[in-house]
Amino acid sequence: METQKLADQLGWCITSRDYLQQLDSELRHVTRQHFESLQALRSQNYMDEYLQRLTRLAHEFSDQAETTVRHIEQEHMTYIDQQARMISSVLSDLR
């Protein structure tokens, strides 16, 4: 029974890591989309006053998204990787 619980925990680590990688990817994608949308507006001579505000907001979003991605990578993924290695080691010893 202990082996099954450990295997479940390892599965949770793998699933959580996949989810966090997907979240990282989505944040980066949204950031790129913001800047691509701004570029499209710029090329269509969108009103400069509004474009400046939108650009500032896009940069703020980008900065916050990057901070979030770094936190996820440095804290959460590191923890999950450590746990997965430890659980894998214990499972190997049980076999």
Q: pTM, whole model, 2 decimals?
A: 0.79
Print burial letters for 55-83: b (CB count within 10 Å at least 16), e (below 16).
beebeeebeebeeebeebeeeebeebeeb
Spatial separation of the C-alpha atoms in residues 71 and 27, rounded to whole Å: 13
What percentage of the chain's residues is helix, strand, coil (to nearest 5)? 95, 0, 5
Domain range list for the chain: 2-94
pLDDT tens digit at each of 95 positions of the chain = 588 999 999 999 999 999 999 999 999 999 999 999 999 999 998 888 899 999 999 999 999 999 999 999 999 999 999 999 999 999 998 87
